[in-house]
Amino acid sequence: MTAEIKVVKKVNFLEAPDPSSSTDSNASDFDISDMPDVPGDVVEHNRSTKSSSSKIKYEIENLRAGSTSSIGSEAMSSYMSEEDDDFDPSENLSANFSRSNKIGVTRWDSNVSTLTGIRPFYQKKLPSPKKSSPPSIGRTFSTGSLKRRAPPPPSKPKENSTIPRAKTPQFENRPIVHESPFNLQPIRVLGAKGKGNGAFLRPPKGITLIPGGGCWAVDKGRVVVFNSSWEATEPIKINAAAKPTCLTVTPDKSIAMVCKRTVTLWTASGTLTSTFTHPDFKDLHGVCIDREGRYVLTDLEKNSVTVFGATGKLFSFGSFGPKNDQFKSPSYVTTGPDNRIYVSDHHNHCVKIFSDKGEFLSRFGRKGRGDGELSFPEGIVFLDWANGLLVADEGNNRIDFYTAEGKFRNHILVEVDGIIAPRVLVINEDRLLMVSSQSHHIKLFDLSAIRFAT
């Protein structure tokens, strides 16, 4: 048998009600000594008038415990009777009983020792009763806004919202079946987990090779800097609220850094030169600059791609969904010699190709582990000399090479080469490839000796 408790009113017995302010003719006759002796801490007082009748049950806390209430011990002793000497609140109340010398009014079923429904002042919030619970017995007492409201239904995810980017699930207990014909080894490993120079508080989201040698890498609230000798130098501090993500080098050798709603331009020495933004920027992430000097930006919140020129926003395309012209978390972007736009669609497990005007052309990849299949693709970079592109397959722990039309050719780097959940890919004219992953490291590979099949 279950019971339901509904808080009706809280009464302080230490403050006598004002007879003149009550519409009940018997309200001024109320006396706590008139209450019957019942088990536990619940007493019942019935009142009736010519016009109406009501039933009020009172639940009284052991006010003598501690005797430290601000209402005073004398006032407490004035209404505590001798029969209450053996009063033990643990008999009918839950273990969360609070000795705060207060009084509450509830509906109570003495057959049940656990409070349910709306919690009194001393009770912690309890879970809502299950749907299978039998209905409660007896009357229900409620007044106005104190009536219990049904819990709201579970919220559904918004159609056009950012998908939470939790840690990419890895295939458990799977054998390593992919091999690379190149057997590449990193020529250098940068970074470590930590707070010092050259260390990362979190896996870097964006990296770029800076003019004159060295690189920048985005960390939490700062940019980690390595000079031309690959030695860590003093980091560049950035407001963490700006949420910097990706980096790229502009045609005039400046460094463009993408933040949540702005794009900032820096010199190679770490001096901020300019900033631009747009009302349509909501949660920028990936960035690249095409051959015409246009900025191509991905927006995780809007699930779209925006092309931004010298005169401002030129056009944008995309929305939330699985269709060809839609995205589910467009992560990174790159462009080819003909300014075609390649976008890694993270949660659709594919790469989509668009014209320089944003028209959909084709897509390649689907969720899986086989050749030509992808699992949460991330970084993407176009290789002009090979007329193809590299794709960081984060879920499969590999980096694959595809032609400009999207045909699979080779696994360039795989798990046995030390590639774990790759995220960012950057390559320079000397064919030096930089890879960042979940391991708080940046690995450098020399691709100059590789002949890519086209």
Say which DSSP state 153 is in.
Answer: P
Full set of structural domains in the chain with CATH: 1-146 (no CATH), 188-446 (2.120.10.30)
**Amino acid in position 230:** W
Query: Which pLDDT value is given to residue 132?
Result: 52
Q: Which two tokens stand for residue 270?
A: 């770490």
Let me know if 112 is exposed, middle or buried by CB neighbors in 10 A (0-12, 13-18, 19+). middle
Mean pLDDT by 10 residues, the chain (454 residues): 46 47 45 46 41 41 43 42 44 41 41 43 52 48 47 54 49 52 87 91 90 90 92 90 90 93 92 92 94 95 94 93 95 95 97 96 95 95 94 95 94 90 92 90 91 76
Buried/exposed code over 387-424 (b: 16+ C-beta within 10 A; e: otherwise):
ebbbbbbbbbbbbbbbbbebebbbbbbbbebbbebbbb
- CA dist 311 and 60 (Å) reads 73
- CA dist 102 and 122 (Å) reads 9
Query: Which pLDDT value is given to residue 282?
Result: 93
Query: Which pLDDT value is given to residue 86?
Result: 46
> Which helix or strand (DSSP H or E) is residue 274 part of?
strand 272-277
Q: What is the CA radius of gyration of the chain?
A: 34
Nearest to 9 by CA among 94, 147, 105: 105
Dihedral sign (CA 219, 223, 229, 233): negative
Q: From residue 385, give the alpha-carbon distance in Å to each of 295, 334, 430.
A: 22, 15, 11
Dihedral angle at the C-alpha atoms of 200, 256, 452, 377, nearest 10 degrees?
A: 60
Number of other CB atoms surrounding residue 229 within 10 Å: 8
Q: Are 122 and 94 in contact (CB under 8 A)?
A: no
**Amino acid in position 255:** I
Query: Which pLDDT value is given to residue 451?
Result: 82
Query: Which pLDDT value is given to residue 162?
Result: 53
Q: Are 427 and 443 in contact (CB under 8 A)?
A: no
Nearest to 334 by CA among 381, 390, 300: 381
Say which DSSP state 33 is in.
Answer: G
Q: Are 126 and 93 in contact (CB under 8 A)?
A: no
